Structure 1
């Protein structure tokens, strides 16, 4: 390792934490794939948050085949050759595919005695990284204590990884057509979804495979209580979603929000409120935020309005709402690459 890196790289803490790239049905009709992955926590903060407005996932994703997942882990442990020239490893890549041509954040990973060092971060689209043109000069180098680093990564090898997406949602409601469209949308973005009238006939083992239960507005409280009782009896830890309106993109956003169990300090988008003709948005790090409004008109047709799409720095922000287009029962969806929040507008 060059002497300047050895001298300048003080110890940083290293850890791992579950993270997700939120999927969704976007206002333009496109889909954004849901990805669950393991993020790198450096000095107590997701490393991804140091990379402004980057929509990416680590190579340690839940839907990666087991052999490839293991190869990525062993590569970061330097128990296998680096996949890229110059000892470089992919730290974050495209959430939609694994093609380097889409761009990836890479870094040199090497040993210095017992320590591991990540240095020379760069945005890379070709076999060779151009540090002068595409280097992240304000990030790293990071020096990690060997025992802490190895223990964290080897814990992933000890845990079973079957290559399947663990997120599943149970949909319960009276409007079968809406539920069918919602299930199709969820499956398209990578979330398993099944439809039922109640959970009484579902085995406890299957109930424990769900991460959320979504109720339609027509499901009464007695039926909801019976479903909750079935899940509690099975020892299943699920999030419950009360559908705000039969609007598929809105319901997808609600479900994505419910599936996010990460603590607020590890989210980029942490607050959404709407009042007095304004939306209040809070982000913990610089990121792209999209704000979309949905409503049903008097003929039960979905109306969609793009309110805002731009990059916001960390902090609280106010965004003006066009109240003329948000008549009646309207809802806001705020979306960043890793978080989704939903808020009903007061009538």
Structure 2
């Protein structure tokens, strides 16, 4: 089978979890994405909310089995030599729909072909095939090296625990519960002095409430630096749980900047400026605190944007006073305070 060579690589990626404006929860997933010709393959599949089978939160045995399957060392999981390339981020049920492809060997090369959307054991390529994608021919040495490297990495698993430090216990408790509901571990503390390095190493981010002084923040940073541990630090914008969840989601994003869809958000003068690198669905949610410190949330935009920069007018009532804007795609989240 003839096909031009494509480059193959892997990179960390994220399906952004969160607490949505309607109160629904969206599960956080860390996974390894396929990079074909220096671009995430997922970006070629319209605005698909899905993850690869190389998920960082599955047991090692399952992860290893998925790698071996992609290397052709075990039988394909679906009839016709088909493999799941991207599946539902909430479950592993084929009925939810999955992107599948035939993976085969041609000499030393690996070929991915006949991409399709599949919901049953068999697939109709005429009706459900992705006719503009592939086939991709990968050089065997590059392909095997990328996948084999996953089995050698001891630190491939994301640190999905967050340390919460703040003065408002009720807010911290609600935030911790929200994070746990979307798959992120959370612990509440007043400080980390004297905590063993092995315990600190389990955290990927530290979130500070607005009442925490700069001196207290500096002490926490010194503790992590002294233990040789790099974490992301989040300065909470307001005691609004969905907003804080979005800030933490952004802090936990380990995907390379060059391989993200949503790369810019500004909020000022009643408008939001958004930049995306490929066509995708973008949702904008405005949060504000009124004079009695009550929280108000409003979804102010939900639509598909083409690659490039966009200016979106916002409902004046949704962003009056102390307000914030959250921009969300399936893979990332950005948060900005509304500038005046």
Would you say same fold, with TM above 0.5? yes
The equivalent residue for 1:3 is: none
Aligned residues: 340
| Distance in 2 (alpha carbons) for counterparts of 1:288 and 1:235 | 39
Instruction: Work out whether residues 34 and 191 of structure 1, in 8 Å CA contact, stay in contact via their aligned partners in 2.
Output: yes
Task: Report Cα offsets for 1:305-334 as digits up to 9, x if no partner.
Answer: 110011111111111111133221000000
Instruction: Work out whether residues 115 and 146 of structure 1, in 8 Å CA contact, stay in contact via their aligned partners in 2.
Output: yes
Q: Which sits farther off after the overlay, 292-301 or 221-230?
A: 292-301
Match for residue 263 of structure 1 among 256, 265, 268:
256
Instruction: Work out whether residues 286 and 318 of structure 2, in 8 Å CA contact, stay in contact via their aligned partners in 1.
Output: no
| Distance in 2 (alpha carbons) for counterparts of 1:303 and 1:337 | 23
Match for residue 129 of structure 2 among 135, 147, 150:
135
The equivalent residue for 2:72 is: 78
Answer yes or no: is 1:113 the counterpart of 2:107. yes
The equivalent residue for 1:59 is: 53
| Distance in 2 (alpha carbons) for counterparts of 1:229 and 1:159 | 28
Answer yes or no: is 1:17 the counterpart of 2:11. yes
Deviation at 1:230, TM superposition (A): 0.4
Answer yes or no: is 1:100 the counterpart of 2:94. yes
The equivalent residue for 1:344 is: 337
| Distance in 1 (alpha carbons) for counterparts of 2:144 and 2:18 | 35
The two structures have a TM-score, normalised by structure 1, of 0.96
| Alignment RMSD (CA, Å) | 1.3
Q: Which sits farther off after the overlay, 317-326 or 114-123?
A: 317-326
1:1-347 pair list within 5 angstroms? 6-7=1-2, 9-160=3-154, 166-347=159-340
After superposing on structure 2, the runs of 4+ consecutive aligned residues of structure 1 that deviate more than 4 Å are none
| Distance in 2 (alpha carbons) for counterparts of 1:230 and 1:165 | 21
SS of 1:332's equivalent in the other structure is: strand
Deviation at 1:29, TM superposition (A): 0.4
Instruction: Work out whether residues 62 and 161 of structure 1, in 8 Å CA contact, stay in contact via their aligned partners in 2.
Output: no
| Distance in 2 (alpha carbons) for counterparts of 1:18 and 1:75 | 19
Instruction: Work out whether residues 97 and 118 of structure 2, in 8 Å CA contact, stay in contact via their aligned partners in 1.
Output: yes
| Distance in 1 (alpha carbons) for counterparts of 2:255 and 2:32 | 12
SS of 1:324's equivalent in the other structure is: helix
Deviation at 1:218, TM superposition (A): 0.1
Deviation at 1:275, TM superposition (A): 2.0
| Distance in 2 (alpha carbons) for counterparts of 1:276 and 1:170 | 34
Instruction: Work out whether residues 261 and 278 of structure 2, in 8 Å CA contact, stay in contact via their aligned partners in 1.
Output: yes
SS of 2:318's equivalent in the other structure is: coil
Q: Which sits farther off after the overlay, 138-147 or 258-267?
A: 258-267
Deviation at 1:165, TM superposition (A): 5.9
SS of 2:319's equivalent in the other structure is: coil
Q: Which sits farther off after the overlay, 58-67 or 236-245?
A: 58-67
The two structures have a TM-score, normalised by structure 2, of 0.98
